[in-house]
Structure 1
Amino acid sequence: MPVRRGGAAAAFAPVALLAALPVLASVWRQGPCLERGWGGQEPFWRFCYSDLAVSVQTSGADRGVRAFFAGDVPLDHPPLTGAVVSLVAGLAPGSGALATQRWVLGLWALLAVAALVLMAWWVRTSPGHRDVDPLQVALAPVAALTLLLSPDLLGVVLATGGLWAWSRRHPVLAGALLGAGVMARTYPALLLVVVAMHAWRTGRERELVGVAGGALGVVAVVAGPLLLTSPSTVTRAWAASFENGAGLGSVWYLPTLDGNAWSPTTLTVLGVLGVALAVVLAGVLVLGAPRTPRLGAVALVVVAVVLVSGRSFPVQSSLWLVPLVALAGLRWRDHLVWALAEGIHFVAVWLYLAGLRDANRSLPPSWYALALLLRVAAVVYLASRAWQTATGPSVGDEDDPRGVPEPVPEVGAARI
């Protein structure tokens, strides 16, 4: 066993080193803003806008995590994300808004390298996913575009860890990580539903008690202190999402481009219907398939449906899909088709925003609409490919209803 583990670690080392490349690309793209700041329209033209950097300044996050728990840092993020951003900003050694922003992005870049390595390792070591490619996480083009745009990475890491822990038969840990993920980004709540369906299909219903206990315990630890000191901080991000109109990237933004924005109530109804559709599709896939489908593929279908049907689909939300694409077992061809569409939309959205104050330099709304639809179509394509591969042959626990990996013949430390 020690030889196998050492061999696996050695084989994974190049993947870990390559994970720095998307982060370096993100930092390079932030160069103009790191030099001049993130104010005005210039960051849009130079493709270096970062909500992470801007929100640190506008919310006063540099006052630290104590101020956040007191309700004095109005970050529009779920509680755990807001606390982490405030903690990082509060540790800034320099003074002044720009110095703090540079510190936050620099430290976040270092954390991003560790996060990509960790998620790639989880993909590599998930039972039933031995044919997946961890490089699809470590070298994801979409990660290079989105890592420093927002603090979404925190929720993505926790959600990925939760799926890994469930696949490794650690239900309490899975629940704790997914519960923390819900406190960092909302979408891991969908993964809890996927895990529950998978448990029912594989005869692991009793383990859901551990999942529920772990999730509720972490939610209580994170939200409890805030409910005592600043209840509005717990619900601020979610309440704001129900009050906002259609956001960039959403198909429901198309009427806004035409000057006929839909009401928040209508968008809420459409969003709820999208979540319901995602849950129904997951049920059909998990409970109706001839063999237990890949957990990552089901998760990809669910998250993709919610993203394309939601009231907002910002550029940074695509980071949610990166580890799921790998866990679903999709090929690089599918990954790159999606990445190309994301890249086109990435350029289009900043040109569109940059031109809102200067009609002579604006990207026409019709061109932005085309880029938006191309991106949505690419995500739908990912979901369809995940559906096709969900019931395909796999090695390990998903072919065995009891979740026991099949033995792998070995010669020494080499697998054959």
Structure 2
Amino acid sequence: MTPRPDEVESPAGAARAPEAPGDTGPGTRESASPSGVSDTDSLDPDERVRPSWSESLARNATRPLGGPLGEHAVVGRHWFWTPLRVGLLLALLALVVSWFGKSACVQQYDTGDKLALDWRSSRPYVAMCYSDIVPLYTAERLDKPETFPYETSWVDDEGKPTAHTRYMEYPVVTGMFQWVNAKITAGWVTKSEEGWLPTALPVVIYFSISAFWLALAWLVTVWCTGRTARHRPWDAAFIALSPLVLVHAFTNFDTLATACAAGALLAWSRKKPVLAGVLLGLGIATKLYPLFLLGPLLILCLRTGRMKAWWQATAGAVVTWLACNLWLILLYPEGWAEFFRLNSERGADPDSLYNVVMKFTGWEGFDGPLPWGESPQWLNLVSAALFVVLCAGIAYIGLQAVNRPRLAQLSFLVVSAFLLTNKVWSPQYSLWLVPLAVLALPRWKLLLAWMTIDALVWAPRMMYYLGENNKGLPEEWFLGMVVLRDLAVIGLCVLVIYEIYHPALDRARRRVDEDPGGGVFEDAPDKFVIGGRKPRSGTVSDHDDVPGEPVPAPVGT
């Protein structure tokens, strides 16, 4: 039988760890904030979670520096280096490493009469530096001064039976982001020709400008997540060093969407549903996945009877999305619809479970071989149906669990369900899960294991694209890593569900009925619960990776 945290004794001769942060009583800063919500800037030392006490990964990492934080160490007194700022610094360093990882794909060489981009000898795959940003500069006609997204069209495969008209293929905010960066690039090139700025190929300048803004977006993601975590500000530092960031921060434009989603969760946690909705609407106009966060909000608002806040957030999202999209829908309907057309016609991507099953079993898929340009209707239907079924199961958990699930837990489950059932899981999509995973399941060793597996999928993917004839890897290696990644995500989902039903094991809570990111429904009584059972009450210990395992006392106490 696992002892309760308050029954666990310290090792002989060691000082006992202080009370759990949730035992600080009603007189703490929790009630001192004007909004009634504690902030990371106003935490008392005993309100902060010390990673070197609660995380064996952090505890082992501190040994070369003298070991875990002492019981009487002064915490939260430095005038500048707060945990969040340390996290931002680490994020900046990780982004620099990530940029250097992609820099091999923006090298130039002299052809004799001009500079050219050095993609010879399959460099993007050999160096594993591939980024969509580079080829999209010319593929989307962004290098042409007359191009305007969703208005400008071109013909792919001209003169062939597969010839078809193309437009900008990204959602509006992402498409306009690319266009603005292309215009900045054109201005840079002009000034460089005048001798005011260093010169380079336009595509190299374009990539660097895009990377700058994408890096800022990831810093916003880290900042917002650290603020949302409240008494776990060091989780932001863990996000900053994610292996997925090292590999995929500049693979595509997804950090723009993670910034919007993280900002929306922060706004909701500060009881600002309209602002949360505005940021979600902006995120939906950037990438589709922030739309799914409205589902967990609906479940928890329904459970607490706070539907007004959900309607406010939804209205904010709809108005913002329309403000971004409506003018393009009216002016260039065909160009605007390109994103939806391409996604409808797209088959099962190499990273999807459907492709894994087809390759390993010889199955031809739900639709069988299709002529070019025809949509895989059965695949689309099955993918959508599976996602709806999983969302229904998540809604049941959200309304049936004795203690109300946290918003981050349900959000992680919904986005994971989408990725697992979707016919496309581009490698950079895993960035969507990073901030949600840290908020939903703040167990560093487990998350690091998943992030490492997920990041390593990139290596066999690149080697598979290189081709066996070019000393690459066979497809089975890549598909095997895809299976491992999916199993890792499924395992995290199982653990999140387990902690929903066993809230005393949830590290993000200081009480079993607490939700640090709950916003308007934090501490609200349940109005609608399937089964009508009363929630349990109590506090949560600052436990280690194994529930009930004693936390070693700090070195030197």
Number of the residue aligned with 2:258: 156
Aligned 8 A contact 1:18 1:138 in 2: yes
The correspondence for 1:226, drawn from 328, 349, 353, is: 328
The correspondence for 1:272, drawn from 373, 380, 384, is: 384
Distance 1:220 1:244 in 2: 26
Unaligned runs of 5+ in 2: 1-31, 34-40, 44-75, 109-116, 155-166, 194-198, 368-375, 525-557
Number of the residue aligned with 1:373: 483
* Structure having the larger proportion of residues in helix: 1
How far residue 39 of structure 1 moved from its aligned partner, in angstroms, is: 4.5
How far residue 307 of structure 1 moved from its aligned partner, in angstroms, is: 0.5
The correspondence for 1:286, drawn from 398, 410, 422, is: 398
TM normalised by structure 2 equals: 0.67
1:334 aligns with 2:446: yes
How far residue 348 of structure 1 moved from its aligned partner, in angstroms, is: 0.6
Aligned residue type for 2:251: L
Aligned residue type for 1:4: S
Aligned 8 A contact 2:264 2:277 in 1: yes
Aligned 8 A contact 2:229 2:439 in 1: no
Number of the residue aligned with 2:180: 87
Moved more, 131-140 or 146-155: 131-140
From the superposition, tell whether residues 251 and 127 of structure 1 become closer, same or farther in structure 2 (CA, over 3 Å).
closer
Aligned with 1:75: secondary structure? coil
Aligned residue type for 1:134: A
Distance 1:127 1:202 in 2: 22
How far residue 54 of structure 1 moved from its aligned partner, in angstroms, is: 1.2
Aligned residue type for 1:289: A
Aligned residue type for 1:365: E
1:35 aligns with 2:77: no
Higher relative contact order at CA 8 Å, sep ≥6: structure 1 or structure 2? 2
TM normalised by structure 1 equals: 0.88
Moved more, 96-105 or 328-337: 96-105
Distance 2:280 2:118 in 1: 33
Aligned residue type for 1:367: W
Question: Rg larger in 1 or in 2?
Answer: 2
Give a deviation string over 1:22-56, Cα, whole Å, max 9, x none.
Answer: 21121111122110437563211110111122112
Aligned residue type for 2:245: A
Aligned 8 A contact 1:345 1:372 in 2: yes
Number of the residue aligned with 1:126: 228
Aligned 8 A contact 2:98 2:250 in 1: yes
How far residue 66 of structure 1 moved from its aligned partner, in angstroms, is: 7.1
Moved more, 172-181 or 27-36: 27-36
Give a deviation string over 1:99-143, Cα, whole Å, max 9, x none.
Answer: 333223322333333323322222222277647711232111111
CA RMSD of aligned residues (A): 2.9
Number of the residue aligned with 2:307: 205
Number of the residue aligned with 1:250: 352
Distance 1:94 1:212 in 2: 43
1:240 aligns with 2:352: no
Percent identity of paired positions between Structure 1 and Structure 2: 24
Number of the residue aligned with 1:403: 522
From the superposition, tell whether residues 328 and 50 of structure 1 become closer, same or farther in structure 2 (CA, over 3 Å).
same
Aligned 8 A contact 2:301 2:521 in 1: no
From the superposition, tell whether residues 4 and 210 of structure 1 become closer, same or farther in structure 2 (CA, over 3 Å).
same
Aligned residue type for 1:378: A
Aligned residue type for 1:90: K
Distance 1:65 1:210 in 2: 40
From the superposition, tell whether residues 250 and 64 of structure 1 become closer, same or farther in structure 2 (CA, over 3 Å).
farther
Query: What is the correspondence of 1:372-391 to structure 2 with a 5 Å cutoff?
Result: 372-391=482-501
The correspondence for 2:151, drawn from 43, 46, 70, is: 70
The correspondence for 1:146, drawn from 231, 248, 267, is: 248
Moved more, 56-65 or 78-87: 56-65
Distance 1:319 1:218 in 2: 24
Aligned residue type for 1:245: G
Aligned 8 A contact 1:274 1:309 in 2: yes
Distance 2:145 2:382 in 1: 37
The correspondence for 1:135, drawn from 228, 233, 237, is: 237
Matched residue pairs, number? 403
The correspondence for 1:4, drawn from 42, 48, 72, is: 42
How far residue 182 of structure 1 moved from its aligned partner, in angstroms, is: 1.1
From the superposition, tell whether residues 127 and 59 of structure 1 become closer, same or farther in structure 2 (CA, over 3 Å).
closer
Give a deviation string over 1:68-127, Cα, whole Å, max 9, x none.
Answer: 153448332111111111111221012799733322332233333332332222222227
Aligned 8 A contact 1:190 1:302 in 2: yes
